[in-house]
Structure 1
């Protein structure tokens, strides 16, 4: 039978104090650029949506059908 570790605290290898501080430092340094990136992506997405809507308005007339207009004025009707 395999022996089971009776004391789970011995199996855990805690990080040294210097590694804990460096991990916290790296996390705090990465927070700012991450927030700037999220805000920038949100702003760029909003801007791209506005540009798309503006381009739709510019090219809206190209999709309209050409209406046939008579060249001569209509003849007077007999009332």
Structure 2
């Protein structure tokens, strides 16, 4: 039985479509992974800066004891 030209062209056209589908699926997975990794990398850049004084007040022991609910 002789193969029809349409069947031949169809069989030749299927493999590039399958390969491109697999390549795009792999690229999609890779881009998602890249996005998640970059989000983890830049997570600390968006945190607010805390204003922590370099020195404690003169009566820092008294202030800490007065404010602490667990102080004896």
Q: TM-score, normalised by structure 2?
A: 0.75
Which structure has the larger Rg over C-alpha atoms? 1
Q: Does 1:77 align with 2:62?
A: yes
Q: How many pairs were matched up? A: 61
More helix by share: 2
Deviation (angstroms), 1:35: 0.6
Moved over 4 A (4+): none
Aligned partner of 1:42 in structure 2 is 25
Pairwise CA RMSD of aligned residues?
A: 1.9
